[in-house]
Amino acid sequence: MFTSSTRGVPEVRDVPRHVAIIMDGNGRWAKQRLLPRVAGHRRGVEAVRATVRACVERGVEFLTLFAFSSENWRRPADEVSILMQIFIRALEQEVVKLDDNDIRFKVVGDVSRFEPKIRELIAAGEALTASNSRLTLTVAANYGGRWDIAQAVQRLLSARPEAARGFIPEALEPYLSMAYAPEPDLFIRTGGEQRFSNFLLWQLAYTELYFTDLLWPDFDAAALGWRAALFFVAGILIAGLALLFSASAGFAPEHAWPAPIVVAICGVAALFWLLVAPRWLYAGWQIESRVGLALLGSLVLIATWVAVVQMQARSPGMLLALMAIVWIADTAAYFAGRRFGRHKLAPSISPGKSWEGVYGALIAVAVYALLLLWFARDFGYSGDITVSVAAMWLAVVLILAGLSVVGDLFESQLKRQRGVKDSGRVLPGHGGVLDRIDALTAAMPAAALVAHYMIR
């Protein structure tokens, strides 16, 4: 029997041992996309798969999902029927996969109200996975916290009639439906509501609570991260100090770095931001090693510093133009997103960003690029400005603007892995400076290559 965490504040852990989630927002997710509610529920099953996978990867031992409350029977009959069919399909298709991955499957709640086929599938799934130990996945179905406490009291009185004269809380614990699991370390509710909704009322006494506006189908591995961007920021600061010493030794910004070094460092960095970082964001990759995070932060700033030195030495005007591109893209994305934003760009990373905001940013920087052509000579360009040159310049500016978005999202993902909103909270006194340069770190290496090859 586990030790109840209500006897003391539970130990703070890097990774929660037990996570409990209310999966809310399937219907609203579908409605926003003009889809039937069933589409939201089906997409919600995919989010369950991603969450189970993320918990396994991070070493979570228990995951409890509130799938169907005792109050859900009040929903329209056709929706309840659809939910039951999805439940049956999931039991038929997913339990074998759980067993293959050493995941134990449990269902808590009053299952007597379900049709015989569902009860049989539940019993078969629990028996099949009973000896698995990698993760215990509990599905709360036709469950209510009040029901759980009431049935536990009835079972206690049946086993120990003398308890009718009084009993201590610990005496009730063995009869609760989740007596096999420790109390949750972390409770998550998606969909914007901030209440328990009769879920695990006894067990959540000292649990950390996290409420998010993300709808359940948009909840994924990145939103579930607990690892830190702390060491990414630390790596950047360490690299920054090293580069300050190198500057005092003669590598001042007015001295361009040797061309092979610039091409090699900025080329690798540009390929990372163009090819690897978008895939990283899409897949929600994690760096578990602290050394790895520090190394990544160092490499990001080293490439940025080399690019800054090269651009300031060859064309200060180009450096200022890039800063303007990033600022215009960020500002235009903000206003366009607020006015027209409907389709989320990366809701699990940065819920406020939308595809409409990106389109607005690209339009704004395209206009700015055309204006820059009028002043190209001032930036060091000595060739003829032809249609092909203008088209190439426009393409370069749009790519740099796109890279700035990638850089912004990349740091946002690392911050979400840490569970902070502003990087100023990652490192005390940091003041959120990194929030203002993250877009530049992604665009700067590519811009330095452009300056190296296009400006003579």
Alpha-carbon distance of 420 to 208, in angstroms, equals 15
How buried is 66 (Cβ within 10 angstroms: 0-12 exposed, 13-18 middle, 19+ buried)?
Answer: buried
Provide the token pair at 86.
Answer: 């999805």
Active-site choice (72, 101, 132, 198): 72
Task: Report the run of H or E that residue 140 belongs to, with start and end.
Answer: strand 135-143
143 touches 22 (CB < 8 A):
no
Active-site choice (24, 218, 220, 438): 24
Q: Nearest-CA neighbor of 60 among 133, 140, 145, 143?
A: 133
The DSSP call for residue 141 is E
Query: What's the angle, vertex CA 72, arms to CA 149 and CA 128, rounded to 5?
Result: 70
Count of beta carbons in the 10 Å neighbourhood of residue 276: 11
Rounded to the nearest 5 percent, the helix, strand and coil shares of the chain are: 60, 10, 30
Catalytic residue status for 218:
no
Alpha-carbon distance of 389 to 384, in angstroms, equals 8
Catalytic residue status for 72:
yes
Give the catalytic positions in this structure: 24, 72
